[in-house]
Amino acid sequence: MAILVTGGLGYIGSHTVVELLNNGFEVVIIDDLSNTERFILKNIEEITGKKPVFYPFDLRRKELLTQVFDAHQIDGCINFAASKAVGESQIIPVDYYENNLFSLINILQEFKTRKISNFIFSSSCTVYGQADVMPIDENTPLKTPESVYGKTKQMGEQILIDFAKAYHSKISLLRYFNPIGAHPSGKLGELPIGIPNNLVPYVMQTASGIREKLNIWGDDYPTEDGTAVRDYIYVVDLAKAHVAALKKLIDDPSSDAVIDIYNLGTGKGSSVLEVVKAFEKTNNVEVPYQICARREGDITIAYANPDKAGKELHWKSETSLEEALRTVWEWQKYLKTRNS
């Protein structure tokens, strides 16, 4: 079966492509290379010994997208392609709405015309905002996200739910908590483009001396050590959940709409300071830091109840925080040798 993976050379996309190829799927990647680099494709080929088809273009180019659907018998799509910088989305909101929603709609138009089902959407726990009760399960009420980025995820979900209902399609909305880590081969990971916004890439660059100090955004939260708590999920575990979600849709005999929603996390919250300490201990490096004021828009605490994914996808996070942080350091070493 050929699966279209948009954003397939990006961080979570590339790890998922590896898992799909290892599970015998044919993969067609579309990626505009706006937030990744071409060597990732070569590394996917080295890891898997297989060659996915690759098209470098922006999904808003509808005519090119149609050509891909003409050239391949596409059986499903995993849609990662999106702009994802929370801060930037507040500054250029129209570009975020255009990029994230037009590309989704263009793919759905092809799905509609060709009567294709099986669509997996890369969503985020940001759709829950600051939830009132922990852990967060799929019945937790949605709140309007703080950021435009988050709003594009919530709108994307809504578009897909309407699509599934109208065309009796099968969709899966995967709400990620905080993905971290790199491939055990050391050849795939999050590519740092500019100054990282997310915690773990920033920690990684501070440990290696690229950044002087990590700024910890706030130590006055009502948590055990005062720093904010998140659910850090290993990227390869997350990638495996995509394959499980896809197989479930493919195997579902129903001719009605299928709308699956899963929270993908470990079920355990870790504070910013716990992550920093775990990184230092696991990798035997120092991460200098200073405590700063809270970052605007940050929530206090978010961790998942992943039981539904456990029951229905037979999936659970298997990798410890320490092991995930070890792969991050290996990835940093790889990037260093690549750049030298």
Question: Which sequence positions are flagged as catalytic?
Answer: 149
36: number of Cβ within 10 Å = 20
Q: How far is the CB of 150 from ligand UFG (least distance, A)?
A: 5
Q: How far is the CB of 20 from ligand UFG (least distance, A)?
A: 23
H-state helical runs in the chain: 11-22, 39-48, 62-71, 86-91, 93-97, 103-114, 148-167, 199-207, 235-251, 272-283, 307-313, 321-339
Sequence-distant (≥ 6) Cβ neighbours of residue 203 within 8 angstroms: 214, 275, 276, 279, 287, 328
Residue with tokens 């709405």: 97
List residues binding ligand UFG (CB under 6 A).
84, 86, 124-126, 150, 178, 197-199, 202, 214-217, 228, 230, 272, 295, 298, 302
Comparing every residue's Cβ against ligand UFG, the nearest one is 228
Q: How far is the CB of 261 from ligand UFG (least distance, A)?
A: 16
Q: How far is CA 92 from CA 16, 104, 124, 148, in A?
A: 29, 19, 20, 9
Sequence-distant (≥ 6) Cβ neighbours of residue 265 within 8 angstroms: 125, 176, 177, 178, 231, 233, 303, 304, 306, 317
The nearer residue to ligand UFG, 111 or 176, going by C-beta atoms, is 176
Residue type at 51 in one-letter notation:
K
The nearer residue to ligand UFG, 82 or 108, going by C-beta atoms, is 82
Q: How far is the CB of 205 from ligand UFG (least distance, A)?
A: 10
Cα(78)–Cα(186) distance, integer angstroms: 24
* Burial class (CB within 10 angstroms; exposed 0-12, middle 13-18, buried 19+) of 170: buried
Residue type at 225 in one-letter notation:
D
The nearer residue to ligand UFG, 145 or 186, going by C-beta atoms, is 145
The pair of three-digit structure tokens given for residue 33, joined into one six-digit string: 């290379």
Q: How far is the CB of 216 from ligand UFG (least distance, A)?
A: 4
Q: How far apart are the first and last CA of the chain?
A: 40
The nearer residue to ligand UFG, 142 or 166, going by C-beta atoms, is 142
Q: How far is the CB of 197 from ligand UFG (least distance, A)?
A: 5
- Going by C-alpha positions, the residue among 128, 136, 116 that lies closest to residue 267 is 136
The nearer residue to ligand UFG, 68 or 321, going by C-beta atoms, is 321
Cα(54)–Cα(147) distance, integer angstroms: 31
- Could you tell me whether strands 119-124 and 26-30 are parallel, antiparallel, or unpaired per DSSP bridges? unpaired
The nearer residue to ligand UFG, 117 or 282, going by C-beta atoms, is 282
